[in-house]
């Protein structure tokens, strides 16, 4: 039984029917135990409210994505017992996103920047925020200049890091997610679905809220690390005048005493410290599956923790205790003699 926790209050903020949610992984690695909570929350909440959940691949970074991850993610979602309402890709919307980027520029809310990382850091108050923030000088360019430069980016006239599109937000706001975030950057990489068609790719901050809007997501549920991003999420949809989903955040699930970071696991695999992403010593979902843990045990563990706004760091022993209790209740007990000795009774 799905325990909605604080999502009851979230639903009451927007009590619509049907509910539409989404699980939007980036296909740059295999899913881990923390993703099990995200899957359970998004699919579980939609089902509880008689709605549907999309599986959307956030495939806007062609340098890090591989086909094997796409397949593995879908297999894992289905192994956990969920079927996506629709399987979509952020890249399905590349043309729409580009058109909205031009609209943003036309509204004088987007500009092409040529600053390096050091200058951007200074604009944002320096290393420790000890100096006054100030807006990039490129924000003073005309709409016509910015449109032409953005089209030059699109046409491959700039190399990576020579130019990128920024959103003209509010550099004086106390929230760093309003400090003129990047919307598009130049990447010299072929995309797994669009090939070499695009020379520029949208960022997460530009893509995510708009794809939620395109798909009619009612409740965009993400972990609390994105709390600050809610302001920029709402700003962009409102500025462009598109449908506005509601973003709310729940506490993420982490396991203490192990590694869940995709980047760190990739290094462990590359250094041959572990034998692969399904090495039983890891806590990727494919490794847990290889250890013989049934999907029902994982979902029960996640459900026991509930859905709150607090981040949860659970020790491995508690996870193993939860699995053991599940197995004791669901698995038949059988006696077996491994090394039988024949005995003749007269």
Average pLDDT, rounded, for the chain: 96
Q: What is the pLDDT, as a whole number, of residue 346?
A: 84
How far apart CA 220 and CA 201 sit, in angstroms, is: 22
223 within some domain: no
**Out of 49, 109, 199, 262, which one is annotated catalytic?**
262
159 within some domain: yes
Whose CA is closest to 316, among 239, 231, 252, 254? 254
Whose CA is closest to 255, among 290, 282, 286? 282
247 within some domain: no
- Percent of the chain's residues with pLDDT above 90: 95
Whose CA is closest to 107, among 277, 238, 264, 227? 238
pLDDT, mean of residues 13-32: 96
Tell me the pLDDT tens digit for each residue of 140-156: 999 999 999 999 999 99
* CATH number of the domain encompassing residue 196: 3.90.800.10
Find out whether 227 and 203 touch, Cβ atoms under 8 Å: no
Residue 100 backbone dihedrals phi, psi, to 5 degrees: -70, -30
191 within some domain: yes
Strand partners, 90: none
Q: What is the pLDDT, as a whole number, of residue 193?
A: 95
Residue range of the domain that includes 183? 93-205
**Out of 3, 26, 135, 318, which one is annotated catalytic?**
26
Tell me the pLDDT tens digit for each residue of 180-190: 999 999 999 99
Query: Over 90: is that where the pLDDT of 2 sits?
Result: no
What count of other Cβ atoms lies within 10 Å of the Cβ of residue 232? 24
Query: Over 80: is that where the pLDDT of 207 sits?
Result: yes
**Residue 151 designated active-site:** no
Find out whether 34 and 65 touch, Cβ atoms under 8 Å: no
Residues 6+ apart with CB under 8 A from 13: 246, 248
Strand partners, 221: 248
Query: Over 80: is that where the pLDDT of 178 sits?
Result: yes
pLDDT, mean of residues 205-213: 99
Q: What is the pLDDT, as a whole number, of residue 130?
A: 86
- Report the C-alpha dihedral over residues 75, 76, 79, 85, rounded to 10 degrees: -70
Query: Over 70: is that where the pLDDT of 1 sits?
Result: no
Tell me the pLDDT tens digit for each residue of 252-282: 999 999 999 989 999 999 999 999 999 999 9
Strand partners, 112: 165
Q: What is the pLDDT, as a whole number, of residue 229?
A: 98
Strand pairing report for 200-202 and 219-223 = unpaired
Tell me the pLDDT tens digit for each residue of 95-136: 999 999 999 999 999 999 999 999 999 999 998 888 999 999
110 within some domain: yes
Residue 140 backbone dihedrals phi, psi, to 5 degrees: -85, -5
Find out whether 202 and 85 touch, Cβ atoms under 8 Å: no
327 within some domain: no
Q: Work out how many domains the chain is built from and give that number.
A: 1
**Residue 65 designated active-site:** no
63 within some domain: no
**Residue 26 designated active-site:** yes
Tell me the pLDDT tens digit for each residue of 62-93: 999 999 999 999 999 999 999 999 999 999 99
**Out of 37, 154, 252, 289, which one is annotated catalytic?**
252
19 within some domain: no
Strand partners, 312: 253
* Side-chain-facing half-sphere of 189: CA atoms under 13 Å: 16
Tell me the pLDDT tens digit for each residue of 303-325: 999 999 998 899 999 999 999 99
């Amino acid at each position: 039984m799905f325990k909605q926790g604080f999502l009851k209050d979230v639903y009451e903020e927007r009590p619509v029917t049907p509910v539409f949610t989404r699980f939007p992984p980036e296909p740059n690695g295999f899913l881990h135990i923390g993703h099990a909570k995200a899957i359970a929350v998004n699919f579980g909440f939609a089902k509880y409210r008689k709605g549907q959940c999309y599986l959307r691949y956030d495939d806007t970074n062609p340098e890090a994505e591989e086909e094997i991850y796409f397949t593995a993610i879908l297999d894992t979602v289905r192994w956990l017992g969920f079927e996506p309402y629709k399987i979509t890709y952020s890249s399905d919307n590349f043309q729409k996103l580009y058109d909205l980027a031009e609209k943003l520029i036309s509204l004088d809310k987007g500009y092409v920047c040529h600053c390096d990382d050091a200058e951007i850091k200074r604009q944002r108050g320096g290393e420790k925020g000890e100096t006054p923030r100030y807006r990039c000088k490129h924000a003073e360019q005309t709409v016509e200049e910015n449109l032409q430069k953005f089209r030059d980016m699109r046409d491959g006239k700039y190399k990576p890091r020579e130019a990128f599109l920024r959103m003209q937000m509010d550099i004086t706001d106390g929230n760093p997610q309003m400090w003129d975030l990047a919307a598009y950057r130049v990447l010299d990489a072929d995309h797994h679905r669009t090939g070499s068609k695009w020379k520029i790719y949208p960022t997460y901050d530009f893509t995510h809220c708009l794809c939620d809007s395109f798909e009619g997501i009612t409740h965009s549920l993400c972990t609390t690390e994105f709390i600050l991003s809610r302001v920029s999420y709402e700003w962009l949809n409102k500025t462009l005048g598109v449908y506005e989903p509601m973003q709310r955040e729940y506490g993420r699930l982490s396991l203490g005493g192990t590694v869940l970071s995709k980047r760190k696991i990739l290094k462990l695999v590359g250094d041959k410290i572990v034998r692969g992403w399904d090495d039983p010593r890891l806590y990727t979902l494919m490794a847990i599956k290889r250890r013989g843990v049934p999907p029902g045990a994982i979902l029960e563990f996640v459900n026991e923790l509930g859905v709150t706004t607090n981040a949860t760091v659970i020790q491995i022993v508690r996870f193993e205790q939860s699995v053991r209790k599940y197995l004791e209740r669901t698995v038949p007990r059988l006696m077996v003699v491994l090394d039988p000795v024949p005995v003749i009774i007269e």
